Each structure stands twice: as structure tokens, then as C-alpha cells.
Amino acid sequence: MKNYPTGKIRNVALMGHAGSGKTTLAETMIFESGSSHKRGSIEKKSTLSDYHSLEKEKQKSIFGSVLNLDWRGTKINLLDTPGTPDYWGHVSDSLHVADSAMIVLNSEYGVEVGTEAFWKAAERRKLPTILVANKLDSEQSDFQKTVDMAKERFGRGVVIVQFPYSEGDDFHAIVDVLKMTMYEFPEAGGKPDKLPIPESLKSQAELLHNELVETIAENDESLLDLYFEHGELDEYQMRDGLKIGMLNRDIFPLFCTVADRNMGSGRLMGFISNVSPDPTERELPLKSGDVHRVHSDGDPAMFVFRSTSENHVGDLTYFKVMDGSIEHGMDLVNKRTGDSLRLGSLFVPQGEKRTEVSTLEAGDIGVTVKLKGVMSGDTIAGKSSDVEFEPIKYPEPTIRVALQLLNEGEEDKLSNALHQIEKEDPSIRVEHSQELQQTILHGLGEEHLNVILHELQNRFNLNVQFITPRIPYRETITKRSDAHYKHKKQSGGAGQFAEVYLSIEPWYEGIPDRKDLNVRDVQEITLDWGGKLVFQNCIVGGVIDNRFMPAILKGIMEKMENGPMSGCRVRDVRVSVYDGSMHSVDSNEAAFKTASLMAFKDGFLQASPQLLEPLYEIEVTLPADYMGDVMSDLSSRRGQILGMDSEGSIQKIKAIVPLQELDKYTTRLKSMTQGSATYTRQFHEYGPVPHDIQKRVMEETLSAETA
């Protein structure tokens, strides 16, 4: 395979709502460019991009894939992404290495919830973006509605470069208002004939051409001058203006395709190679907060964006060359760990296939095997290079499940498998919760977690199942209570004796001192699980030796880690030890620990204890039609609505919802809205649980203890 110079490389992320036609479009582009002799299809399970067996089975993209094609000497790397929010991990990493985005709109629906999410993501990454209206051959296609929705949502920068001669089954030609040409396709698609724009569409084409020229001129002063001077811009001036407008995200050119009939991709590839930015044309954020421009000379640097594993090959590391050029056998340094490493064989990926190359230039995307200790997000560079790129930001999980092994003795095997899965998909988070005594998997949706379960069962041969995860409650108290416990044991040998009096009260910021007690020492402990414990030594007359104080604190802490109500953590209490007694022979640390633990437990339960639950702030994005259903469902989940917002036909609801009520919420939301809504969530704070739930949890804890 040819080695492409940086200026001849384009990295384009293919994005869009699930089913808009991204994978089919990639297939068409590659075929049409001559880079593949076969045009695969989703239905025949034969695309280059969706090559995993699970993707073939489900007939949709689950994993991101990297494809490439040559369009008249320019190498276009296509980063095909899954459109389902469950698999957003491979969207995040694709966006990190793309130099422009292509958002595919399904012209049957226009802007969908997924379109919106991709748009926001491209915006955050400041990516120049092309829009493509696809499926114009569908009977439900509505180009005008699609354009209107796009303009309404994404602003005036959305400009038509192409419109269809006709829509629906009769689709066969595209009018291009940049070239002022009509492209008419043969029945089977492929290379179109270039024809003059027919009389009937001339005035419409001229109107749109002027709109395009004016938008371009508006964004560039020198072009504006030229425009005023000549009343027109030539094609090259328009290209320059479009590029500047795209780089500033002022212009979003809109194209037309029918991907599964192989119509429209040639012009799209021409535009990408002529106008879309090459890898050097944007500034990329560094870890330090500075920015960096990819350059083709100097010290080599590469950015690792994805790790996968394949049978018989082992770990694969996907990367983008950021500076200089790299070659097989080169010695580089992992900037995160400082480890030296030697580059193995280099390949160019085409979906599942790989072609070996000896060198790759800045801007290009490749894959290599067995780079030890390397993780997604790492920068690997020459010794004297000081660039380290900003790591990839993955979305916050929206769903959690607990894993249960069905065979004993497979704990280590499970833990290794989870480690590998986390490495390959950093949007999965594995939590080994001491507190809940469960291994909890956090992911982006039920589908996402089911893919992981499928992997655990089939790839790692583990007999596991999902169970409902416990809730990490917190416990606190609402009033003061005094407690007393005498621990006394006299069974043969040395006895045990300790007696303590504790005063337990709710702690809060600014709480007044205890004037009624002789406070000799205060320890303010910030708890790992949030909140505080304030521990006061108020012993008078040496009734308990100072040396027993640490043991008394230990007893309290032990109970705080295993709260009396739910077994979860206790927070925000002040405990004062104000009296007690000891025995010259039988008192020891263990005895005091037991006594304080028991006193704390009794005192806690008498201090009007209150169970707290984690509350999450959620944001639901949904089409307006489903507003009523989603709102009433939220109120049945004890949701407290914070606000609503509308952006065109897309609505947003912000609410505070208890974690417990978010169990299976992604699934419910999907079924309520026919898969069109998404939501994000973020921990908000702990809040009191309603009385009936508190009662139920306490009863469950009690019956588990006595079982």
C-alpha cells in the first residue's frame, strides 16, 4: 500500500442516528473509489465495517471500525461509528482522531435524537462538519423537512450544496449548486452523467447557489470584497471560503446520497478531498491545556485511541500518527508511564482486514500488535517530544447491574476478563464494591451490558448472570441520643471488661460546641464515602485511660462501615465519649472496641435514624410527542422535575431521580419512545428515603442478620 503524505490524508468520522445509513454509505464510498471490488450490504451481512458476528446477527454497528479508500490520490480514512447510544464509547474515541465529521441524516425523519447527540459531540470537539441527507429514495423521504429541521437546530450555517431532482422511488439525479451541474445516475448507481440543470429547476438552483455564495462570502472578508467586485466567486474561491467556514464551524454544507443504490458518494469524496481539512489544519488540545498542531516533520508522536483483541493475533492497538513519521522497529516512549517500547509491525486497517506497511506519516491511522502496557488515550512519542494529548472523554454510565458467578472458583478468571473488557471499552466501568459486596458493571444501556454479558459467556467462557445491584445507601441520625454499654466476659482465663457512655448526635457544618461536656480532644474525620465523623474525648477523672481511645474510635468506625439500618455506610455524626469504667486486669483494646461498637449501634438506632439514598440528576432528550408519557413515568419514579427546555422538535427534561428508580430506566425509556429518547445521569447528592422504603430496607437487613 502507498504511503500518503500528511496533506493527502483526511480523517472523517461517520456519525448519525442509528439506521441513517452510515455503514452503507462507507461501503458505497469504498466501492465507488475502486478501493474494494465488492459492495457489501447490511442485509447480506457483507459490509467491511460490521464484521463482528454480533453485528451481523443484529444487522447494525456495535463497534467502531476504521476503513480507508483512495479518491484520486487522497486517502480518506473513515471512522464508522455505531449510532446506538449504548455503544458511544467508540464514538468518543473516533471523534478524538477525526479531523472532520460527516453527519448522516435519514431524510425520512430529518433531525433525530441521535443526530442531536452526534452534533453536540462534534461541536464539543470543534469538528468541521458535513451533513448528508441519505435515503432520498424512500417513499417517506422529505428533503425540505430535513433541511428545515437541520437549519432550525443547527443554525443558518447549514447550507444546501445539493438537492434531489426528485425524491422517493423515482430518485435518480442530484442538482449541485456549487458546481451548478446536475448529476444523473444510471439505474444501478455509480458514476453519474453530468448534465446542465434543467430549465424547471434553474431558478431554484440559482437561488440556492446565491445563498451558498453569500454564506461563504459573509464568513471571509477578502472573499466578500471579491464578491462585491465581481458579483460572483469562482469554484476555487468558494472552496477556500468553504474550508475556512467549516474550520470555524460557521458553515455546514449539506449533500445528498442514496447509499444503498450507490448514488452520490463520488461527489462527496471529491468534496472531502478538495475542501475538508487535512490533519494539520486544526489545533488539538494537549493534556497540559495548551494546543498542538499535527506536523509532518520532527519528533514522531502517536495517539492511541482504541484497544481491541482478536483471535490468533492478541491485543491490537489503534493509533493516529500525530507528528513526524513512524516506522516498524522504532523506539518510543509512553508519555503516561515513561516506559520505553519498540514498535512492532504496522498495519493499515480496512475493517477486519489489515495490510502491512513499513511506515506511516503524520495524520494517518494505523494499527499495531502487542504494545505492552499501552491504554487508549496514551501518547507514544520520541524521547525528546514533549507532547501529550488530552485523554479521551467517555460518557458517564447510565445503567448498572451486578454480576453473579454461577460456578465457584472462577473469581480470578472473571476479574481478568473484566480487566480486558474495561481496557477494550473504557465506557464500561467495573466496580468491586466492598460496601455492597458485589461486582458492579456500569454501562451505557441494557444493550451495551448485554454485549458484555455475551462476551463474558462466549469469549471468556464464564458462567455468569446479571442480578439486581444493591443500593449504596447512607445512614444518618436526626436527633441526639445517649447510649451506654458494658462489655463483660468471664469465661475461664483472662476476662474482658469495658464500659462506655456515648452521646451521639447529628453533625452538620457549624454545629455548636458541647458546653455541657468537658471536651478534651476533638478528631474531625472526613469519611471516604462522604460526610464526616466528629469524635470527642470528654472523659473526666481518667475513668477511661487515654490509651483506649483509639480502640473506642475503631469500634465506632467499624459500625459506621456497616450501618445498623442497612449495612451501608454511616455519615455525619458527632460522638462524644463522656463516661465509662475500666478494670485494672480485664480491660483491653478489644474489650473497648466491642463496648463502643455496641453502644454506638444502640445509640444510633435510638437517635431517629434516617436512611439516605443516592439521588441522580438526569437529562432526558426526547421527541416532543412523547413528553406526556415520559413526564408521568418520571413522577411515578419519585422524580422531581427541575426544568424543561425545547430545541426545535426535541425536548429536554431535567430531573432529580433516586438511583433505585433508575433501575432499567434506559429500557423503559426506549420502549416508551420507540427507541428515540436518550438520557444522561450524574450523581447529585444523598437524600432521605421515604418512610416505607426505610422500613422495608431495615426489615430486610434484620432478616438477613438473623437468617
Ligand X SMILES: Nc1nc2c(ncn2[C@@H]2O[C@H](COP(=O)(O)OP(=O)(O)O)[C@@H](O)[C@H]2O)c(=O)[nH]1
Residue ranges in contact with ligand X by CB under 6 A:
16, 18-24, 41-43, 60-61, 83, 104, 134-135, 137-138, 258-260
The rounded Cα 9 to chain-centroid distance in angstroms is 27
For 676, the 3-state DSSP assignment is: coil
Residues in Cβ contact with 175 at an 8 Å cutoff, skipping those fewer than 6 apart = 162, 163, 164, 165, 181, 182, 197, 201, 204, 205
Contact 369, 313 (CB under 8 A): yes
Contact 567, 482 (CB under 8 A): no
The C-alpha atoms of residue 429 and residue 316 are separated, in whole angstroms, by: 21
The C-alpha atoms of residue 122 and residue 284 are separated, in whole angstroms, by: 14
Contact 659, 693 (CB under 8 A): no
At its nearest, how many Å lie between ligand X and the CB of residue 28?
8
At its nearest, how many Å lie between Mg ion and the CB of residue 14?
8
- Interacting partner of 135 out of Mg ion, ligand X, none (Cβ under 5 to 8 A depending on kind): ligand X
At its nearest, how many Å lie between Mg ion and the CB of residue 425?
17
Task: Considering the complex, state which of residue 105 and residue 598 has its C-beta at the smaller distance from ligand X.
Answer: 105
Angle at 104 between CA 100 and CA 105, to 5 degrees: 140
The C-alpha atoms of residue 445 and residue 447 are separated, in whole angstroms, by: 5
Task: Considering the complex, state which of residue 40 and residue 324 has its C-beta at the smaller distance from Mg ion.
Answer: 40
- Please state whether 409 falls in left (phi above 0), alpha (psi between -120 and 50) or beta: left
For 317, the 3-state DSSP assignment is: strand
Task: Considering the complex, state which of residue 111 and residue 414 has its C-beta at the smaller distance from ligand X.
Answer: 111
Task: Considering the complex, state which of residue 62 and residue 597 has its C-beta at the smaller distance from Mg ion.
Answer: 62
Phi, psi of 152 (to 5 degrees): -65, -40
At its nearest, how many Å lie between Mg ion and the CB of residue 40?
12
The C-alpha atoms of residue 19 and residue 695 are separated, in whole angstroms, by: 47
| Residue 23 within binding range of Mg ion, rule CB under 5 A | yes
Using CB under 5 A, which residues numbered 243 to 282 contact Mg ion?
none
Contact 335, 380 (CB under 8 A): yes
Which range, of 57-65, 283-291, 400-408, 506-514, touches Mg ion by CB under 5 A? 57-65
Task: Considering the complex, state which of residue 254 and residue 504 has its C-beta at the smaller distance from ligand X.
Answer: 254
Element containing residue 148 per DSSP (H, E): helix 143-154
Task: Considering the complex, state which of residue 18 and residue 251 has its C-beta at the smaller distance from ligand X.
Answer: 18
Supply 328's cell numbers.
516498524
Which residues on neighbouring strands pair with residue 430, listed in sequence order? 441
Task: Considering the complex, state which of residue 138 and residue 562 has its C-beta at the smaller distance from ligand X.
Answer: 138
At its nearest, how many Å lie between Mg ion and the CB of residue 80?
6
At its nearest, how many Å lie between ligand X and the CB of residue 664?
24
Which range, of 15-23, 446-454, 501-509, 594-602, touches Mg ion by CB under 5 A? 15-23
At its nearest, how many Å lie between Mg ion and the CB of residue 61?
3
Task: Considering the complex, state which of residue 20 and residue 100 has its C-beta at the smaller distance from ligand X.
Answer: 20
At its nearest, how many Å lie between Mg ion and the CB of residue 126?
24
- Interacting partner of 562 out of Mg ion, ligand X, none (Cβ under 5 to 8 A depending on kind): none
Element containing residue 643 per DSSP (H, E): strand 640-647
| Residue 678 within binding range of Mg ion, rule CB under 5 A | no
Task: Considering the complex, state which of residue 60 and residue 474 has its C-beta at the smaller distance from ligand X.
Answer: 60
Which range, of 32-40, 53-61, 123-131, 415-423, touches Mg ion by CB under 5 A? 53-61
At its nearest, how many Å lie between Mg ion and the CB of residue 18?
7
| Residue 476 within binding range of Mg ion, rule CB under 5 A | no
Residues in Cβ contact with 375 at an 8 Å cutoff, skipping those fewer than 6 apart = 304, 307, 336, 423, 426
At its nearest, how many Å lie between ligand X and the CB of residue 57?
13
- Interacting partner of 487 out of ligand X, Mg ion, none (Cβ under 5 to 8 A depending on kind): none
Task: Considering the complex, state which of residue 59 and residue 450 has its C-beta at the smaller distance from ligand X.
Answer: 59
At its nearest, how many Å lie between Mg ion and the CB of residue 26?
8
- Interacting partner of 16 out of Mg ion, ligand X, none (Cβ under 5 to 8 A depending on kind): ligand X
Phi, psi of 114 (to 5 degrees): -65, -40
Interface size with Mg ion, residues (CB under 5 A) = 3
Task: Considering the complex, state which of residue 84 and residue 438 has its C-beta at the smaller distance from ligand X.
Answer: 84
| 9-15 and 74-80 beta bridge pairing | parallel
- Interacting partner of 42 out of Mg ion, ligand X, none (Cβ under 5 to 8 A depending on kind): ligand X
The C-alpha atoms of residue 79 and residue 69 are separated, in whole angstroms, by: 12
Considering only CA atoms, which of 668, 610, 611 is closest in space to residue 639? 668
b/e map 671-689, b = 16+ CB within 10 Å: ebbebbbbbbbeebebeeb
Task: Considering the complex, state which of residue 22 and residue 135 has its C-beta at the smaller distance from Mg ion.
Answer: 22
CB atoms within 10 A of CB 247: 18
Task: Considering the complex, state which of residue 184 and residue 214 has its C-beta at the smaller distance from ligand X.
Answer: 184
At its nearest, how many Å lie between ligand X and the CB of residue 444?
16
At its nearest, how many Å lie between Mg ion and the CB of residue 54?
13
At its nearest, how many Å lie between ligand X and the CB of residue 49?
8
| Residue 61 within binding range of Mg ion, rule CB under 5 A | yes
Long-range contacts of 622-625 (CB under 8 A, 24+ apart): 622/113, 622/650, 622/651, 622/652, 622/653, 622/669, 622/673, 622/676, 622/677, 622/678, 623/112, 623/113, 623/649, 623/650, 623/651, 623/673, 623/676, 623/677, 624/649, 624/650, 624/651
Which range, of 18-26, 67-75, 89-97, 171-179, touches Mg ion by CB under 5 A? 18-26
The C-alpha atoms of residue 590 and residue 460 are separated, in whole angstroms, by: 45
Task: Considering the complex, state which of residue 135 and residue 487 has its C-beta at the smaller distance from ligand X.
Answer: 135
Contact 306, 392 (CB under 8 A): no
Task: State the chain's maximal CA–CA distance in angstroms.
Answer: 111
Count of residues in the chain? 707
Contact 392, 378 (CB under 8 A): no
Task: Considering the complex, state which of residue 258 and residue 615 has its C-beta at the smaller distance from ligand X.
Answer: 258
Which range, of 61-69, 139-147, 595-603, 647-655, touches Mg ion by CB under 5 A? 61-69
Which range, of 17-25, 217-225, 395-403, 513-521, touches Mg ion by CB under 5 A? 17-25
Phi, psi of 668 (to 5 degrees): -60, -45
Locus of grid cell 458518494: 265
At its nearest, how many Å lie between Mg ion and the CB of residue 105?
14
Considering only CA atoms, which of 510, 501, 474, 509 is closest in space to residue 575? 501
> Quick one: CA dihedral 512, 517, 518, 520, positive or negative?
negative
At its nearest, how many Å lie between Mg ion and the CB of residue 22?
5
Task: Considering the complex, state which of residue 23 and residue 106 has its C-beta at the smaller distance from Mg ion.
Answer: 23
| Residue 20 within binding range of Mg ion, rule CB under 5 A | no
Binding residues (CB under 5 A) for Mg ion: these are 22-23, 61
